[in-house]
Amino acid sequence: MERLQKVLAHAGVASRRHCEELIVQGRVQVNGKVVRELGTRVDPGTDRIAVDGRPVRLEQHVYLLLYKPTGVITSVSDPQGRRVVTDLLKGVKERVYPVGRLDYDTSGLLLMTNDGELANMLAHPSYEIDKVYRAWVRGVPSPEKVNRLARGIKLEDGMTAPARARLLKTSAAGDRALLELTIHEGRNRQVRRMCEAIGHPVLTLERVKLGFLTLEGLEPGQYRPLTTAEVERLKRGLTRDRKIPPHRR
């Protein structure tokens, strides 16, 4: 469910502010009834919306899983003219946006959608969606350093939450190692900063899993739509798994 004015703006009716004025003026109908409340939420997939009696053609929700390569900006535009993730979505007519972000030099799984409510829930830390990263780091971390990653690392913006960390393998020369980190926070360049803090800077970084979703069957730069079952599973999991802070219970 999304706010009515946002749905109207996305459908190209007018700016969001002007859409709010249309609602207050009683010019918008939802399922045949005039709506004047700005807090009204609607389902673009099922609700019938009209302005001045004329039906509004709504965008259908689209859910895409993109294998973002390195060297691409997680944005829909870039003032410097660099490639952005939407440049990779050839054939997609709907306006979709990235859920969260991956750095320019980080590859991996990125969801793209025009379902604002789902995107906000996936990105919100209270839902604690697992994000699995694999990082080749310089040198070979000791078991104690791997345990430090799991317990939490003190960064300049505070302690990281407990994570799962494991050493997957080392290079034949013993000069680098592959770490797997599972976190649910979304701090800026968090995995890179965590590894830097234990003295093993990241050489390459890839997100390989988000919740139950993986990159299976995709090559860098490719994407696929989520299945109906996958979307429903995501929504069920978000409804069930939200971790509510104690002070808000």
Specify whether the CB–CB gap between 106 and 205 falls below 8 A.
yes
Query: What is the signed CA dihedral for 48, 49, 54, 59, rounded to 10 degrees?
Result: -90
According to DSSP, the β-strands at 202-210 and 107-113 are parallel
Query: What is the signed CA dihedral for 193, 198, 204, 206, rounded to 10 degrees?
Result: -70
Q: Distance between CA 64 and CA 61 in Å, rounded?
A: 10
Burial of 173 (0-12, 13-18, 19+ CB in 10 A): exposed
Beta strands in the chain (DSSP E): 2-3, 28-30, 33-34, 41-42, 49-51, 54-55, 63-68, 97-98, 107-113, 131-138, 154-155, 158-159, 164-170, 176-183, 202-210, 213-214, 223-225
Q: Is 103 a catalytic residue?
A: yes
Among residues 52, 103, 105, 175, the one annotated as catalytic is 103
Q: Distance between CA 164 and CA 180 in Å, rounded?
A: 8
Catalytic residues: 103
